[in-house]
Amino acid sequence: MSDFLGKDILSTKGMGKVDLEKIMETADEFAVFANKEKSSDLLKGKVLASLFYEPSTRTRLSFETAMQRLGGSVITVSGAEGSSLAKGETLRDTARVIENFADVMAVRHSLQGSADDMAEVAGIPVINAGDGHGEHPTQALLDIYTINKERGRVDGLTIAMVGDLKYGRTVHSLSYLLAHFGVKLILVSPDQLKMPAEITDFLAEKKIEFEVTENMDDAVKHAHVCYMTRVQQERFDDPAEYERFKNFYVLTKEIIEKYNSKMTIMHPLPRIGEISLNVDDLDGAAYFRQVKNGVAVRMALLAMVLGKA
């Protein structure tokens, strides 16, 4: 996939290092527009369909901001209730309809594989903006971009991923991308929420050094980057199970200052309680800068699949 024109962005699993680097370089070029320093009409006349059938604040608004700040326009569906999905329309039919209106679509849906399904029939690029507990490729791309910006490199880093690694789709996509680098991973979760075997098998196959543990404090001692995640309440059948795990990990300023004050702290957001508010003032708290980086990365992706970058 070295030429992105017309391509879907569905998963990071098959994404090559050259493509990843190309996206990172292009995002750098778009940063001036994302940072509101300059305006652009590069995507004038192009339409993004933003189809969000599951809740979203950042991803949807970040895609829409990216499109509009490059001069393009947006049509949007937010929530299944107001759309024809509520009447029983299939996602495949929706894709066939939307391709008549838009030039590219970003889709979020609770079903794993939903974006793949739509991409199979759509004649325009489909970008997966989160498919259930599957993947969230654009978040992982902005995470790599952020690690690079915060630490100056990805190679040689020890990266801890903490929380709900089973249902958290961002850590799935991020793991696939980190496998391109010489990193050490510490996978921190309760046993019931551990990283799916499909992903740890992939890491092992790529000879990525990783450790599986329940102990967050130990991971914090060794990590350059700590990537916290929320326990994904909406994926639990049993509310009592969620209650059991929701406060399993809480990263506080005290823990960081005690063990590793130079650590970078990331989170795809929303945070529920897993990072204390007093962490926000630390230099290493990168989660709001991460959001800002998302606009540049999504600008790059939109421009690339539309053949404008």
Q: Could you list the residues that contact ligand ASP (CB under 6 A)?
A: 130, 136, 169-170, 230, 268-269
- The sheet with strand 184-188 has its strands ordered as 209-213, 184-188, 158-162, 225-228, 264-266
Residue 235 tokens read as 């994926």
Question: Within a 10 A sphere around the Cβ of 206, how many other Cβ atoms?
Answer: 12
Rounded-to-5 percentages of helix, strand, coil across the chain:
45, 15, 40
CB of 235 to ligand ASP, least distance (A): 10
Q: Which is nearer to ligand ASP, 26 or 138 (CB)?
A: 138
Q: Report in angstroms how near the CB of residue 169 gets to ligand ASP at its nearest.
A: 5
As measured in angstroms, the least distance from the Cβ of 190 to ligand ASP is 16
Question: 136 vs 149, which CB is nearer to ligand ASP?
Answer: 136
Of the two residues 58 and 222, which places its CB atom closer to ligand ASP in the complex? 58
User: Which amino acid, residue 183?
Assistant: V
DSSP-derived letter for residue 302 is H
We find the least distance from the C-beta atom of residue 38 to ligand ASP, in angstroms, to be: 28
Q: In the complex, what is the shortest distance from the CB of residue 170 to ligand ASP, in angstroms, rounded to a whole number?
A: 5
The minimum distance between CB 247 and ligand ASP, in angstroms, equals 15
Min dist CB 258 to ligand ASP, Å, is: 27
DSSP label at residue 272:
S
* CA distances from residue 15 to 7, 18, 177, 206, 304 in whole angstroms, order as listed: 12, 8, 8, 14, 15
CB-based contacts of 22, cutoff 8 Å, min separation 6: 2, 4, 304
Give the residue with the Cβ less far from ligand ASP, 46 or 136: 136
Q: How far is the CB of 188 from ligand ASP (least distance, A)?
A: 16
For ligand ASP, which is the closer residue by CB, 72 or 130?
Answer: 130
Of 269 and 300, the one with the shorter C-beta distance to ligand ASP is: 269
SS (H, E, C) 171-211: HHHHHHHHCCCCCEEEEECCHHHCCCHHHHHHHHHCCCEEE
**Which CB, 169 or 298, lies closer to ligand ASP?**
169
**Environment class of 246 (CB within 10 Å of its CB; exposed 0-12, middle 13-18, buried 19+):** middle
**Which CB, 128 or 260, lies closer to ligand ASP?**
128
Distance (Å, whole) CA 252 – CA 278: 7
Q: Read off φ and ψ for residue 128, nearest 5 degrees.
A: -75, 115
Tell me whether strands 225-228 and 158-162 are parallel, antiparallel or unpaired: parallel
